[in-house]
Amino acid sequence: MDWLNAMNSAVEYMEANITEKLDIEKVAKIALSSTFHFQRMYHMITGVTVAEYIRRRRLTLAAQDIISGEKIINVAYKYGYETPEAFTKAFRKMHGISPSAARKPGIELKAYPKLSFQISIKGDKDMNYKIFDKGSFKVVGKQRKISMVDEQNFNQVPKFWYDCMEDGSHQWICSKAGKLGILGVSKDFDKYKDEFNYMIAVEEIKDTIPEGYVSAIIPAATWAAFESVGPVTEALHDLVRRIYTEWFPSTGYQHDCAPDIEVYPVGDMSAADYKCEIWIPIKK
């Protein structure tokens, strides 16, 4: 229940400071998580990014303020828009009408409610996982710094994979894949304020590392490894959501301070029977 209480406290903090500039680091601390893991967890559970949630909530409340008689220019500045024009554009995009039109009787507006987190016990689908300890090991591959500002990481990581496939890096990495296969490693969360490093990698190789490639040490940790079956894009997304909404709340574990690792055996990642794993460092 600590996980649920922490997540709901984070939402309450965002709601209480909805007109202020979002301090995502403070929100993440309230949620007992790193900035990266909070943003990723929030998006996986709710289907929207933190920034999008804030935007929708502000425009929902802004509509209520306008209906109650507040001046549109004051409402625009209240909810963080630099100009009335920017506010009008955002308002129209969500509600389908201009702010001034919202005052007309009988006009339909859209409302995005405040979220709250609850445990949902479904039991209709097994979640296969194993817990094990593993000593430190080295990985080698391509690395790119990923930004967490406005949740850009959700677009930048897939683009990194695409770029590596285009420039031949992915093929080289696949040719060096060992027992685990290809690894997607999210790491260095504590080194940067709004960024982290993401590697497309394999376990340590004996060959000389080519120019442009890097190596990194994965620290010893206790891992929970979850099996995903199906096309990676859909299956892995659903699995991560279930890990945070079902597994963490029901087991008493929490995320430890170590990289997240996606383990991709060489094969057709779009196949219906493709199996991969996500390793999450855990502690009681």
- Could you report the per-residue pLDDT of 33-65, keeping only the tens digit for each? 888 778 877 887 787 889 999 999 999 999 999
| DSSP-assigned letter for residue 103 | G
- Domain map (residue ranges) of the chain: 2-103, 129-283
pLDDT in tens, 56-95: 999 999 999 999 999 999 999 999 999 999 999 999 999 9
Burial of 51 (0-12, 13-18, 19+ CB in 10 A): middle
Higher pLDDT, 7 or 148: 7
Distance in angstroms (rounded) separating the CA atoms of residues 271 and 65: 50
The residues with which 41 forms a beta bridge, in sequence order, are: none
Question: In the numeric block, which tokens belong to residue 83?
Answer: 């100009």
User: Among candidates 170, 185, 175, which has minimal Cα distance to 138?
Assistant: 185
CA distance 147 to 24: 13
**Domain spanning 129-283: CATH superfamily:** Regulatory factor, effector binding domain (3.20.80.10)
217-237 pLDDT per residue, tens: 999 999 999 999 999 888 887
Q: Considering the entire predicted model, what is its pTM?
A: 0.73
Is the pLDDT confidence value at 124 over 70?
no
Could you tell me the pLDDT band of residue 119, with boundaries at 50, 70 and 90?
low
pLDDT at residue 126, as a whole number = 74
Residue range 191-195: mean pLDDT, rounded: 79
Percent of the chain with pLDDT over 90: 61
Label residue 207 exposed, middle or buried (CB < 10 Å: 0-12, 13-18, 19+). exposed
Tell me the C-alpha distance between 149 and 9, whole Å: 22
How far the first Cα of the chain sits from its last, in Å, is 13
Tokens 């409610």 locate to 113
pLDDT (tens digit per residue) in 131-141? 999 999 999 99
| Number of other CB atoms surrounding residue 186 within 10 Å | 19
Instruction: Give the residue carrying structure tokens 């497309």.
Output: 200
Given this model, what pLDDT does residue 163 score?
Answer: 97
Q: Return the CATH superfamily for domain 2-103.
A: Homeodomain-like (1.10.10.60)
Residue 100 burial class via C-beta count within 10 angstroms: exposed 0-12, middle 13-18, buried 19 and up: exposed
